[in-house]
Structure 1
Amino acid sequence: MSADGRASRPRALIRDEAVSRDRAVSLYSLVVDAAARTPDALAVQDLRGGLGYGALDALADTYLAALRSRGVRPGDRVLVWTDKTTEAVAVAQAVLRSGAIHVPVPRANPRERVARIAADARPALIVTDHDDRVPGAACVPVGDLLREPAYGPAEAHHPVRPADPAYILYTSGSTGTPKGVCLSHGNALAFVDWACRELDLTAADRLANHAAFGFDLSVFDLYGAFRAGASVHLVGETLAQAAGPLVDFLLESRITVWYSVPSALVLMAEYGELLERGPGALRACVFAGEPFPLKRLKELRRAWPGVRMLNWYGPTETNVCTSYEVTAADLARTTAVPIGSPVAGDTVSLEDGEIVVEGPTVMLGYWGGEPRTGPYRTGDLGRYDAAGRLEYRGRADDMAKVRGYRIEPAEVAAVLVAHESVRDAVVLVVGTGLDARLHAFVVPETGPEAAPDTGTRTGPGPERGPALLELRRHCARFLPPYMAVDAVHVVDGFPRTPNGKVDRAGLGGLVARGVRA
C-alpha cells in the first residue's frame, strides 16, 4: 500500500504498456487492434453472455456488410434504439466501420421522442431490438441484419480521420426538443487515451457500464475497455436502478473499475449494503454528472481506503475536461470536493464566473447547426479554491441535473402543454443534488387566467386540472423515465417579473410555502 492509501501497482510499467501501441485514429480500430492481439479475451458481457474480441470483431464485420446492403454510406446517421446488449455494441462498431455516425438512443425512450430525434438526425436506418417503430423511418430489427446478404468485403472498413464525426448524443434541449451533440473520433480518443493512462487500465481490468449508451459516461466504459483490451460488463436499464442486485453485480462480476453518477453509489450504499459488503475487486471508483453529497462521499472514502476515487467533470459537449482525486485528506473537508484541474489537453478557464473549455475533447458542434468555433461556454458557474483547483457552483441558466441526468425543464414543459387539458406549463427543478425534483406548474384549459398584475392564485388541488398520475402517463409517451415530473401544482396563471417574464423564483416560493401538489 502506498503512502496515500492506494494499492501498490507498477504504475510506470503499466503506463508504458498503455502508450507503447500506436495511437488510434478511430474508435473502431480499438476493437480491431485488440482482436488481433488477444482474440479470445473477453470484450463485452451482458446478462445473457459475452463476446471475446475476435467474436466481437467478426460480428461487427457481419453487421457492417448488412448495413452496406441496406444502403448505409459514409456520413449517414444510423440510429440504434435498443437495450444494452452485446449485439448493440457490435452494431455500433459496424456503424463506425462504415464511416457513418452512430446515434445511440436508450430503449426506455418512448417512440414519440425517438421520432423527434429521428426528425433532427435524419438517419438512413433505425436499428431496433423490439417491435416499436418510428413512422416514416426505415427500421430494421437487429436479428434481420444477420440474415442480410453480404455486400462487398466485410474487412473493408471506411478510413476515417480524427476530425470526422463518430457519434451524436441527444440531450434535453432548451427549445423543447432534444439537441444532438456531435463528437468526433478524435474528441473521444483524446479523453479515452487520457483516462486509460490516469487509471492505469490494462487488459486485466473489468469495467462496469452503468450509464445508458446515450449518456456520455458510457464512452469511457466502452472505449476505455477496448483501448486497454479489457472487458466491459453491461448493466441493464432495470438492474441499474436496483440497489441490492447492483451490489451483487459489482462483487460477482469482480468489477475493478466503476464509473457512474453519484446517485447510483448512494442508492447502493443506502439500500444495498455497499459499505458493509466491501468493494470486492474494485480498485478505482469514478463518479460524474452531479455533485456527490459530502457526507455520503466521506463515508465511502472512509470505507474504501484502498480504492482510488475520482470526481470527473465535463458536460456532454466536452467529454471529461477536469478531474479531482478524493483522498484521505478530504475526510476533514467541510465543503464540496472540487472538480479539479484540466485534463486530456484541454484548457479550462473562468469568464465572468462561467466555466469555459477549449481543447481536443470539445465537440464539433450541435447536429444541424453551425460548426463550433472557439471555446465552449458550459453555462456552469465555477470558482478557484485556495489551491487553484476549480469548484463547481451551479448552473448559469435553467438547465439542471436530476437523478444524474441533464434536463432542460423547457422540454418537459413543452410535452406537458401537448396534453389536452393543459393550457400552459412551467417546470422547475426544486432542490439540489440527490434531493432535486421536477415540479410542474400547469394552467388548465378550463381554469381562469390570473390578471398580469395580480400574481398567481393556486387552486384547491389537482382535481381542478390533470393529476400527477395522468400527466406522468402522458409524459411517459414522449420522455425517458428520468424526465418524469415528481409533482404537479395546478395554478390559475404565473407570477410575472416587471419585464413580463415568468417569475420562476416566485413559483419556487410556492413550493417552499407548501402549495398542494
Structure 2
Amino acid sequence: MTAVPLAELVIAAAARTPAAPAVHCGPVTVSYRELDDMARGYTAALVELGVAPGDRVLIWAEKSVEVIAVMQAALRIGAIYVPLAPANPAARVELIADSCSATLLVTDAARASRISSPRTRSVEFAALRTNAPAAECHRPDLDDPAYILFTSGSTGAPKGVCLSHRNALAFVEWAVAATGLVAADRLANHAPFNFDLSVFDLYGAFRTGAAVDLITSDQAYAADVLVEFLCDRAITVWYSVPSALQLMMRYGALLHRAEPQLLRTCVFAGEPFPIADLLSLRTAWPNVRMFNWYGPTETNVCASYEVTARDLTRERAVPIGVAASRAQLTLDPADEGEIVVDGPTVMLGYWGLPPHRGPYRTGDLARNNDAGQLEYIGRRDAMVKVRGHRLELGDVESVLLAHPAVAAVAATVLGTGLDARLHAVVVPHDSDAPPTLLALKAHCAAQLPTYLLIDSLSLVDELPRTANGKLDRTELAAAQGLP
C-alpha cells in the first residue's frame, strides 16, 4: 500500500465504491459518497471560520457521522483534530482548549451552553453550513501532525499525545494486513474517539473501503446491548478492551449464545485479559481469530500475539507477543526490563513540549520467553516494596487471575514501611462461592515466592474503571481508604 495522508483514504474509497456503506450509527447509514460530500461541506465551513493548516480543532460530542465528517474536514485543511470524550466536564474541555491553543471547538447545542470561557471559540454542528464552494484539500507532509489524543497525566493535568499521518498509517497498514481486512468487513467501534483503539476501527475501515459501526457511550458498557450489537449487526471484526468482553460474558450471556456467524476476528488491547475468561472465550469461538495487541497511546500497537487453540492449556496470561507496525522493541535491561519502542508509530511528542526524539520508553515491564515473545509483567511505576522486597503488582495479579474463582483482581499495598502488606481486591466469578484468603494464598504459594503472597483480601462486585475501560487505580485506592 502506498502511504497517503489520512484525509485521502475516504476520498479514494468514495472514488472506488461511492455507494458502499462507510459509517453505521444506529439506524443511520451513510455511503462513502455521502461521507465525502459531508466532509467537503464541513471543510468549506471551517475555512470560512478561519481554520488554517496546523490549527487545532476540538470536537466534543457523542459519536456520530457528523463527528467523523468534521474530523475528515479538519484533515483536509491540514488542521489537527482533537477528539474529546462526551463525558468530559466543561472545565476540562476548556483546560484542554487552552493547553493546545485551539482555534475552534465544534460541539452540540447542549454542550455549547456549558462553555463559559471567552477564550474558547465554539460552534455547533448545525451552524457548520455554508454556501461557499468546497475548499481545495491541503496535502500535508506525512510527518505533519494529524490528531492529538489527550490522556491523563501523572500530574493530574491532561497530556496531549501528538500523532502524525505517518504514525497512524504505519499502524493501520500493518493492522489491515494482520487481520486480513477487506471491503466487505464491518468493524465495531467500541472505543471513544479520544482512545487510540478507535484509530484501527476508523482508518482500517477507510483504508479498505469497509464499514465502521459506532457504539455510543451509553451503549459501551451495557452488557445486553453490546451482545445484541455484536450478534445482530453483522459485525465481522471486533476490537475493544478485555473488560468490555468480560462484561458481555458475565452479564450479557455472550457464551450462552452460538458463536457469532459473521464474526471472524476479535482483537483486544489496553489491559491484560484474565486468562480464565480469555480461554472460555477462545473455547466458545473456535472459528474466530483472536489477537492480543499491546502498545501505549504514544506508540499505538507495537506488539501482537495471536491466541490460538495451543493456548488452551495456559495457566497464566498470554504473551503480548512480537513486534508489530514495523516497530523495534528492546528491553532495558535485556531479557527482563522496560519495553523501549522505536519505529514509525512513535509519537511526535506531547503538545506544548519539545518534540520527542528517538525511542520511547513505555514504563511497562516485560520479559522474553523461550519462544522469543514478550510477556507483560506490569508497570514500572507499580513497583512497590513489601517485607524488604521490591515487587511488581502485575506479577501478583497475573497469578491471582489464574484462580478459577477470580474474575478480576487488583493488587495494592496497605500500610507503609514495616507495616506494609499486600492486599487483593477481587471480583469473584460467583458471588455465592467467592474465593477465600486461605485458598488464594495456597494458590499463589505454588507459583510465587513467600514475599509475594497476599496478606488480606476484599471482595467487590466490580473494579473501578476509567472512561476508556482500564483499571482506575486512583479510584481503587480511594475506595480502599488508601493514601
Q: Same fold (TM over 0.5)?
A: yes
The residue aligned with 1:44 is 23
Question: 1:357, 1:245 → 2: CA distance?
Answer: 37
Alignment partner, residue 94 of structure 2: 115
- TM-score scaled to structure 1, two decimals? 0.75
Gaps of at least 5 residues in structure 2 are: 384-395, 402-406, 421-465
What's the CA shift for 1:440? 13
Give the deviation of 1:488 after TM superposition: 3.9
Identity score, percent: 56
Instruction: Give the equivalent residue in structure 1 for 2:68.
Output: 89
Q: Give the CA deviation at 1:485.
A: 2.9
The Cα shift of 1:114 comes to: 1.2
- For 2:102 and 2:326, the matched residues in 1 are separated by 32
Cα deviation, residue 280, structure 1 = 2.9
CA apart distance, 1:343: 1.2
The amino acid across from 2:251 in the alignment is Y
* Cα distance, 1:50 vs structure 2: 1.3
Letter in 2 for 1:45: H
In structure 1, which of residues 317, 321, 327 is the aligned counterpart of residue 298 of structure 2?
A: 317
- 2: CA distance, partners of 1:394 / 1:440: 15
Matched, 1:248 2:218: no
Matches within 5 A, 1:479-498: 485=475, 488=478
Contact 2:191 2:468 in 1 (8 A): no
User: Which residue of the partner structure matches residue 388 of structure 1?
Assistant: 372
3-state DSSP of counterpart to 1:292: coil
1:201-246 CA-partner distances (Å, limit 9, x unpaired): 1110000000000000000000000001000000010111111111
Q: Does 1:75 align with 2:51?
A: no
Q: Is residue 201–residue 239 contact of structure 2 (8 Å, CA) maintained in 1?
A: yes
Instruction: Determine whether 1:262 maps to 2:242.
Output: yes
CA contact (8 A) 1:293 1:336 kept: yes
Question: In the aligned structure 2, how far is the partner of 1:455 from the partner of 1:440?
Answer: 10
Q: How does 1:163-242 map to 2 (within 5 A)?
A: 163-242=143-222
Q: Distance in 1 between matches of 2:41 and 2:327?
A: 37
Structure 1 residues without counterparts, runs of 5 or longer:
1-18, 400-429, 442-451, 457-478, 492-506, 509-517
Tell me, yes or no, if the aligned pair for 2:195 and 2:468 is still in contact at 8 Å.
Answer: no
Alignment equivalent of 2:325, drawn from 340, 344, 347:
344
- Report the equivalent of 1:366: 350
Find 1:104's aligned residue among 83, 91, 107: 83
**CA contact 1:181–1:366 (8 Å) conserved in 2:** yes
Alignment of 1:145 with 2:128, yes or no, is yes
Of the three residues 251, 261, 279, the one matched with 1:271 is 251
Cα distance in structure 1, aligned partners of 2:413 and 2:42: 44
Correspondences of 1:466-477 after superposition (within 5 Å): none
Are positions 1:378 and 2:362 aligned together?
yes
Residue 131 of structure 1 and its aligned partner are, at CA, apart by 2.1
Q: What corresponds to 2:452 in structure 1?
A: none
Once the 2 structures are TM-superposed, how far is the Cα of residue 398 of structure 1 from its aligned partner? 4.8
What whole-Å deviation, never above 9, does each CA across 1:280-312 have from its counterpart, x for those lacking one? Answer: 310000000000000000001111111000000
Residues of 2 paired with 1:305 and 1:250: CA distance?
A: 17
Matches within 5 A, 1:119-134: 119-132=98-111, 133-134=114-115
Q: Distance in 1 between matches of 2:265 and 2:419?
A: 52
1:344, 1:453 → 2: CA distance?
Answer: 43
Give a deviation string over 1:139-168, Cα, whole Å, max 9, x none.
11111102x342xx4251011111010000
Contact 1:25 1:161 in 2 (8 A): no
Tell me the CA shift for residue 122 of structure 1.
Answer: 1.3
The DSSP-based 3-state class of the residue aligned with 1:158 is: coil
* 3-state SS of paired residue (2:110): coil
**Contact persistence 2:63–2:214 (CA under 8 A):** yes
Q: Secondary structure at the match of 2:180?
A: coil
Instruction: Determine if contact 1:108/1:481 at 8 Å carries over to the other structure.
Output: no
2:312 to 325, 328, 331: 331
Q: Do the aligned partners of residues 317 and 350 (structure 1) sit closer, same or farther apart at CA in structure 2, a change above 3 Å counting?
A: same
How far residue 437 of structure 1 moved from its aligned partner, in angstroms, is: 6.6
Report the Cα offset of residue 481 of structure 1: 8.9
Q: How does 1:438-517 map to 2 (within 5 A)?
A: 485=475, 488=478, 507=482
Q: Distance in 2 between matches of 1:112 and 1:436?
A: 33
Q: Aligned residue for 1:514?
A: none
Query: In structure 1, what is the Cα distance between the partners aligned to 2:365 and 2:311?
Result: 22
The whole-number CA distance in structure 1 between the counterparts of 2:221 and 2:413 is 24
Assess, with a 3 A threshold, how the Cα gap between structure 1 residues 66 and 58 changes in structure 2: closer, same or farther. Answer: same
Q: Report deviation, 1:274.
A: 1.1
Distance 1:144 1:357, change over 3 A: same
3-state SS, counterpart of residue 298 of structure 2: helix
Residue deviations 1:3-48 (CA, integer Å, cap 9, x gap): xxxxxxxxxxxxxxxx4xxx13211111000000000000001114
Contact kept, 8 Å, 1:25 with 1:160, in 2: the verdict is no
In structure 1, the residue corresponding to 2:247 is in which secondary structure? helix
1:269 deviates by 0.7
* Correspondence list, 1:59-70, <5 A: 59-70=38-49
The higher relative CO (CA closer than 8 Å, separation ≥ 6) is in: 1
Quote the Cα distance in structure 1 between the aligned partners of 2:177 and 2:96. Answer: 35
TM-score by length of 2: 0.80
**Aligned residue identity for 2:94:** A
Structure 1 residue aligned with 2:447:
none
Displacement after TM superposition at 1:251 (Å): 1.1
In 1, Cα distance between the equivalents of 2:131 and 2:138? Answer: 19
Please report the RMSD computed on the Cα atoms of aligned residues, expressed in angstroms.
2.7
Shift of 1:121: 1.2
Label 1:336 to 1:454 Cα distance change in 2 as closer, same or farther (>3 A): closer
Contact 1:209 1:221 in 2 (8 A): yes
- 2: distance between equivalents of 1:237 and 1:64? 26
